[in-house]
Amino acid sequence: MMDVNRQFDFAKEAIAQVITLAAAILALSVTFSSGWADQATGSEKVLLKASWCLLVVSLLGGLFALLGLAGIAYRGRGDIRTTTVRVPWLVQLVAFFLGLGLLLAFGLRVV
């Protein structure tokens, strides 16, 4: 059985990695979108904006998951598989992959 502290460390690192990836993808796509958005049609712009919204939702889900971990650590007891961590973490992952997929779909349609 894995030590509880190691479980917290692994969960924290996984959540932080997805937060970092989502923030970097969001920042880069917003920075370089001016060239892409000029060529895009209305439906393609909807894909781009939806991907940005999903990436922001992913960031927020990750932050709430980290806050859930902090709350469990503060109480000194509990399991990382509680809904206070599991639900925001699932929201983070689903939103991240959907946002990434929409951004790729946008890129394939514009290029």
Average pLDDT, the chain: 91
26-30, 57-61, 73-77, 101-105 — which is least confidently predicted?
Answer: 73-77
30-38 average pLDDT score: 84
pLDDT, position 67: 95
Extents of the domains making up the chain: 4-110
Give the model confidence (pLDDT) of 48-69 as tens digits. Answer: 999 999 999 999 999 999 999 9
Q: Are 66 and 16 in contact (CB under 8 A)?
A: yes
Long-range contacts of 92-97 (CB under 8 A, 24+ apart): 92/15, 92/18, 92/19, 92/22, 92/58, 92/59, 92/61, 92/62, 92/65, 93/18, 93/58, 93/61, 95/54, 95/55, 95/57, 95/58, 95/61, 96/18, 96/21, 96/22, 96/54, 96/55, 96/58
Specify the pTM: 0.92
| Residue tagged 């439906």 (tokens) | 43
pLDDT, position 2: 62
